[in-house]
Amino acid sequence: MVTQSHVNVFLFIVFFQLLALSSGEFLKLPLLHPTPGPSPSEALSQDLRHLNSLLSRPPGIKSPVISGASSGTGQYFVTLHLGAPPQKLNLVADTGSDLVWARCSACRNCSAHPSGSSFLARHSSSFRPHHCYAAACRLVPHSPHGSLCNHTHLHSPCRYEYSYSDGSVSAGFFSAEVATLNTSSNRVAELRDLDFGCGFQVAGPSVTGASFSGAQGVLGLGRGGISFSSQLGRRFGNKFSYCLMDYTLSPPPTSFLTIGGVAKSSTDFRFTPLLTNPLSPTFYYISIRSVSVDGVRLPVSSSVWSFDKIGNGGTIIDSGTTLSFLTKPVYTQVLAAMRKRLRLPSAAPPTPTPAFDLCANVTGLDRKRATAKLPRLSFRLAGGVEMAPPPRNYFIETLEGVWCLGIQEVTTKGAFSVIGNLMQQGFLMEFDRDKSRLGFSRRGCSLSS
Ligand SMILES: *[C@@H]1O[C@H](CO)[C@@H](O)[C@H](O)[C@H]1NC(C)=O
Ligand SMILES: *[C@@H]1O[C@H](CO)[C@@H](O)[C@H](O)[C@H]1NC(C)=O
Ligand SMILES: *[C@@H]1O[C@H](CO)[C@@H](O)[C@H](O)[C@H]1NC(C)=O
Ligand SMILES: *[C@@H]1O[C@H](CO)[C@@H](O)[C@H](O)[C@H]1NC(C)=O
């Protein structure tokens, strides 16, 4: 449906199209956290689903999309404007997957669809499904049933299908659309052909309902060629950054996902190398050298932190997981040290989900005094830098007056450790893909807003 007014809007956008960013300029997408955030038990069950799907690598798919990946249960949303005229979508920001996808509707008369509930393909004059023979179509996983191309159809579209380990699915047409983006100097940039999955069948607990918190899809920021960061990186500069603001704050602060350019606080950054694991080319791996609790280094063999020759193990940074997950040898040590150094009465773990191994009773203490009695965790990273997250990044309030250690043991064979989004709160994180390094700064967040 291309009405006259849509054509006009489209021309308007093309007219103002920005071909390149000027020096120091970068793209800014609002990064939000829905309120209320998930309860710790919800976060945990979402995370476990998410990690299971990260771990279930479908055999035989030789493409940058290795995992069919994210169940999209992360809790930070990016606002993306797609189509002509632009439609506003909230997508889960996920460094643990590659595909950008949005729930789509083929409605013509969409009065039954509240604005923003899905992408209305027929209301965009620039929507173009890829052909099933297009090179782009080989980059996405397809339905195991039915052949990819139907030779009797001239216009056979590229069908993708992402299945998750819990049976959830996002399936539809792999397509190209116009993305409209703001720059740091309040100009409008436009990417004419952003590849994304237009999801006509979206079903299952991982991608619908409460656990998805009203998002319309996932913004994959992984290392694969079809991710948002790869597609925009080729045009606007191959780095991105974000600051995940503390979501217990009220009103919830806004920050931005930025693409390209140089973050203002770059002098303040500490850097650690980003590693590539051929077994999981989507993920951003970092190398942890040691962990300390209250300044005492834990007796953990450093080999525990690295991935092996086959690619098992290692540690990833994932904005789409809420809690952090450590492999057994590390978790056991962290838990023992935390238990020993906690200067607060312990509390029984909350009953509906006795999933937390260490909880403190902070009844009668204000937040500041309770926080002062929590052990301090810090990670020594490759590059000789220290990451010392504030205690609220790893102790979470599970009930009124009960704070639990928000770190979990990951038991699956071949599994990796995950630094989730809670642990990253309050840091400006810069993924510099050209230099293969991760920059982080505790003072950068105020600059990114
Ligand atoms: C669109 O749907 C509304 C409500 O169902 C109806 O009143 C209207 O006539 C429809 N318009 C067209 C063009 O079909
Ligand atoms: C191709 O499409 C035709 C017409 O819709 C259908 O009858 C046929 O079964 C399809 N072939 C395959 C291989 O899906
Ligand atoms: C750009 O920024 C303006 C002002 O903050 C906002 O109203 C608009 O929705 C933004 N547009 C896009 C495409 O993000
Ligand atoms: C916490 O301690 C208070 C008294 O100091 C007690 O009444 C309460 O039951 C304790 N809560 C838990 C969950 O252990």
If you measure from the C-alpha of residue 160 to the centroid of ligand 2, how many angstroms do you get, rounded to a whole number? 17
Whole-number pLDDT of residue 378: 97
What does pTM read for this prediction? 0.87
State what percent of residues in the chain have pLDDT above 90.
Answer: 46
Whole-number pLDDT of residue 49: 66
Please name which of 178, 183, 180 lies closest in space to residue 194, comparing C-alpha atoms.
178
Please name which ligand lies nearest the alpha carbon of 109: 1
Whole-number pLDDT of residue 208: 72
pLDDT by residue (tens digit) across 267-281?
689 999 999 998 888
Asked whether the predicted pLDDT for residue 237 surpasses 80, the reply is yes
State whether the beta carbon of 250 lies less than 6 angstroms from ligand 1. no
What is the CA 437 to chain-centroid distance, rounded?
18
Greater model confidence, 246 or 129: 129
Residue 129 zone, left/alpha/beta (φ > 0; ψ -120 to 50; rest): beta
Residue nearest to atom 12 of ligand 2 (CA): 150
State whether the beta carbon of 108 lies less than 6 angstroms from ligand 1. no
Peptide bond into 144 cis (omega under 30): no
Asked whether the predicted pLDDT for residue 63 surpasses 50, the reply is no
Superfamily of domain 26-260: Acid Proteases (2.40.70.10)
Domain extent listing, the chain: 26-260, 265-441
196 vs 140: CA distance, rounded Å:
10
pLDDT, average across residues 55-81: 49
Count of CB atoms within 10 A of residue 152's CB? 6
**C-alpha dihedral (105, 109, 111, 114), degrees to nearest 10:** 20
Asked whether the predicted pLDDT for residue 143 surpasses 80, the reply is no
Asked whether the predicted pLDDT for residue 66 surpasses 70, the reply is no
Task: Return the beta strands (E) in 99-246 as ranges.
Answer: 100-105, 119-120, 128-129, 159-163, 169-183, 188-203, 217-220, 239-243
pLDDT band at 393 (very low <50, low <70, confident <90, very high): very high
Judged by average pLDDT, the poorest of 3-17, 164-178, 229-243 is: 3-17
Judged by average pLDDT, the poorest of 149-163, 305-319, 329-343, 405-419 is: 149-163
If you measure from the C-alpha of residue 144 to the centroid of ligand 2, how many angstroms do you get, rounded to a whole number? 16
318 vs 52: CA distance, rounded Å:
14
C-alpha to C-alpha distances, 370 to 180, 252, 306, 338, 373, nearest whole angstrom: 45, 23, 34, 15, 5
pLDDT band at 155 (very low <50, low <70, confident <90, very high): confident
Pocket test for ligand 1, best of 111, 113, 123 (most atoms within 8 A of CB): 111
Judged by average pLDDT, the poorest of 107-111, 286-290, 330-334 is: 107-111
Residue nearest to atom 8 of ligand 1 (CA): 109
Asked whether the predicted pLDDT for residue 167 surpasses 90, the reply is no
Please name which ligand lies nearest the alpha carbon of 156: 2
Asked whether the predicted pLDDT for residue 12 surpasses 80, the reply is no
State whether the beta carbon of 182 lies less than 6 angstroms from ligand 3. yes
Whole-number pLDDT of residue 252: 66
pLDDT band at 34 (very low <50, low <70, confident <90, very high): low
Q: The tokens of 175 are what?
A: 């397509």
Pocket test for ligand 3, best of 9, 16, 182, 190 (most atoms within 8 A of CB): 182
If you measure from the C-alpha of residue 110 to the centroid of ligand 3, how many angstroms do you get, rounded to a whole number? 24
Q: Which numbered atom of ligand 2 lies nearest the CA of 146? A: 14
209 burial via Cβ count (<10 Å: 0-12, 13-18, 19+): exposed
We find that the CATH architecture of domain 265-441 is Beta Barrel (2.40)
If you measure from the C-alpha of residue 124 to the centroid of ligand 1, how many angstroms do you get, rounded to a whole number? 19
Whole-number pLDDT of residue 147: 55
pLDDT band at 16 (very low <50, low <70, confident <90, very high): very low
Asked whether the predicted pLDDT for residue 211 surpasses 70, the reply is no
Q: Which residues are catalytic?
A: 94, 318
Judged by average pLDDT, the poorest of 91-105, 348-362, 389-403 is: 348-362
Q: Do domains 26-260 and 265-441 have the same CATH topology?
A: yes
Residue nearest to atom 9 of ligand 1 (CA): 109
pLDDT band at 52 (very low <50, low <70, confident <90, very high): low
Residue nearest to atom 3 of ligand 1 (CA): 111
Whole-number pLDDT of residue 358: 93
State whether the beta carbon of 155 lies less than 6 angstroms from ligand 2. no
If you measure from the C-alpha of residue 146 to the centroid of ligand 2, how many angstroms do you get, rounded to a whole number? 9
pLDDT by residue (tens digit) across 317-370?
998 888 899 999 999 999 999 999 999 999 887 665 567 899 999 999 999 999
Whole-number pLDDT of residue 62: 27
Pocket test for ligand 2, best of 145, 148, 152 (most atoms within 8 A of CB): 152
pLDDT, average across residues 32-49: 69
Whole-number pLDDT of residue 353: 57
If you measure from the C-alpha of residue 205 to the centroid of ligand 4, how many angstroms do you get, rounded to a whole number? 35
